[in-house]
Amino acid sequence: MSEQSAPSTQSVFRDGLLRGQVALVTGGGTGIGLGISELLAQLGAHVVLASRTAEHVEKAAQSIRDAGGSASAETLDVRDPERVNGVVKKIAAERGRIDVLVNNAAGNFYAPSESLSPNAWRSVIEIDLYGTFFCSQAVLPVMKTQGGGRIVSISMTLHYRGWPLMAHATAAKAGIDALTRTLALEWAPWGVRMNAIAPGPIPTEGVRKAFTPPPAAGGQVPDVFAAEKAMESYARKAIPAGRWGTPRDIANMVAFLASPAGEWITGAIMVVDGGEWLAKNPAPQMQRP
C-alpha cells in the first residue's frame, strides 16, 4: 500500500462493498490515483490502473495484487480518444463490465499565462479536460448496456476564486465541473451518475519540495525535518481541520460515491479539503510593473 495512505489501512467501509465490480482509474499508479485504486481493490473491485507510464501502473497493480486485491494495468494517454476507446473496449471484453470510472489523470505546473506556449496550454487542457470527456464518453455505452455506472472526476478548488500562474489548470478544472453537471443531466436516464471531487492539499512530492528550505549555507548542519515542520505549521494556520489530506481521504469519497450510499447523488462537486478553501487567504498578488 502507498506510503501516503491514511495511517490505518483498515477501511471504514464494509468488506466486499464493491465485490464483482470493475473500476477504471486513470493516473491510478501514483499519488491520489493510487490511494483510490488501493481502496477500491480493498473493497473487492477489480481495478484497472491506467496511465502514460507503464512502469508506474504495473508496479502499483502488482502491489495491490500482493496485498490480496485484484488489479491490472493499461498504458493510456487520455488525450488520445482512439486509445481510450481501445482500452475501454478491451476491459469490457475481458471483464464484461465497467462499473466505476475515476477521471484522475492530470497535468499541471505553475507558469505565467503571458508566456505560456500554445503547446503548454494545450497539454494541460487536453490531459485534464479532454481526457475526462474522452474517458467518460468511452465508458458510456458499456454503462448503458449494463444498466448504469458511476463516474467520478477529480477537480480542484483554485478556480473558485482564481489562482495566478495556473490559468491552464484552473480553466480545465472549471470545465470539468461544468461537464460533471451537464453530463449528470444528460446521462441520468441511463442510470449513470456523474460527480466530481475537489481535493484540498495532499502532500505530494512537489508540495514537499516547495516546503523544503534551500540548503544551509556555511557548513551548517541541515535540518532534515525542516519541510515537515513547515508543513505542520501550514496545516495549523491554513487548514481548519488541522492536518494535511491523504489519498485515503479522497479515496473514501470516491468509495462513498461509488457505493449505494451515493445512489441519489449526481452532478455534485464534493469539496474534500479540511475546510482549506473556505479559510484561504486571498490569492497571491502579482507584482505591478
- Which residues in this chain contact ligand HXC in the complex, by CB under 6 A? 106-109, 111, 117, 119-120, 123-124, 127, 156, 169
Per-residue cell: 185: 443531466
Bridge partners of 154, per DSSP, are: 197
**Beta-carbon neighbour count of residue 105 at 10 Å?**
24
Q: Which is nearer to ligand HXC, 124 or 135 (CB)?
A: 124
Q: Which is nearer to ligand HXC, 119 or 285 (CB)?
A: 119
CB of 27 to ligand HXC, least distance (A): 8
Q: Which is nearer to ligand HXC, 45 or 253 (CB)?
A: 253
Please check whether residue 249 is in contact with residue 4, taking contact to mean a CB–CB distance below 8 angstroms: no
Q: Which is nearer to ligand HXC, 77 or 228 (CB)?
A: 77
State whether residue 95 is helix, strand or coil.
Answer: helix
CB of 127 to ligand HXC, least distance (A): 6
Q: Of the candidates 116, 68, 83, 92, which has an alpha carbon nearest to the alpha carbon of residue 105?
A: 83
CB of 4 to ligand HXC, least distance (A): 13
Bridge partners of 165, per DSSP, are: none
Tell me how many degrees the CA angle 47-142-46 measures, rounded to the nearest 5. Answer: 15
d(CA 196, CA 181): 9
Q: Which is nearer to ligand HXC, 6 or 106 (CB)?
A: 106
Q: Which is nearer to ligand HXC, 42 or 153 (CB)?
A: 153
**Beta-carbon neighbour count of residue 230 at 10 Å?**
16
CB of 174 to ligand HXC, least distance (A): 13
CB of 221 to ligand HXC, least distance (A): 32
- Write the DSSP symbol of residue 195: E
Tell me how many degrees the CA angle 229-233-238 measures, rounded to the nearest 5. Answer: 150
Please check whether residue 231 is in contact with residue 208, taking contact to mean a CB–CB distance below 8 angstroms: yes
Tell me how many degrees the CA angle 153-159-162 measures, rounded to the nearest 5. Answer: 165
Closest residue to ligand HXC in the complex (CB): 107
CB of 190 to ligand HXC, least distance (A): 29
Q: Which is nearer to ligand HXC, 85 or 204 (CB)?
A: 204
Tell me the chain's radius of gyration from C-alpha atoms: 19
CB of 76 to ligand HXC, least distance (A): 13
Q: Of the candidates 136, 133, 256, 257, which has an alpha carbon nearest to the alpha carbon of residue 190?
A: 136
